């Protein structure tokens, strides 16, 4: 069953200085549209700019994507780089969302 977002995030991450907007969108859409039993997670690794605002923009954009596609995301930031792992939302009983 395909799940399409109700509404895409409106503010362009590119205007916020996020270089990896496209790979993040693709990963979130890929997981969001796939059955949890066919594809469980996707990780995007990228490079951050020098400004601390890049981290805030990245966090906001990842949050928008998780809300749009109904996913969970784990964001890890290291010196100058980041990784975002998108996965299906799990219910309290351990089942994955459709």
CA 98 to chain CA centroid, Å, is: 17
The pTM of this model reads 0.74
Whole-Å CA distances, 8 to 11, 24, 47, 66 = 9, 13, 24, 11
User: pLDDT tens, 19-28?
Assistant: 788 999 999 9
**Average pLDDT over every residue of 67-80:** 92
In this structure, the dihedral spanned by the alpha carbons of residues 45, 26, 23 and 55, taken in order and rounded to 10 degrees, is -70
**pLDDT category of residue 83 using cuts at 50, 70 and 90:** very high
- Alpha-carbon distance of 97 to 87, in angstroms, equals 10
């Amino acid at each position: 069953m395909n799940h399409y977002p109700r509404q895409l995030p409106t503010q362009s991450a590119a205007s916020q200085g996020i270089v990896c907007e496209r790979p993040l969108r693709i990963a979130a859409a890929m997981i969001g549209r796939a059955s949890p039993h066919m594809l469980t997670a996707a990780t995007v690794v990228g490079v951050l700019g020098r400004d601390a605002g890049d981290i805030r923009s990245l966090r906001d954009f990842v949050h928008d994507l998780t809300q749009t596609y109904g996913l969970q995301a784990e964001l890890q930031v290291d010196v100058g780089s980041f990784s975002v792992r998108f996965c299906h939302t799990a219910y309290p009983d351990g089942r994955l969302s459709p």
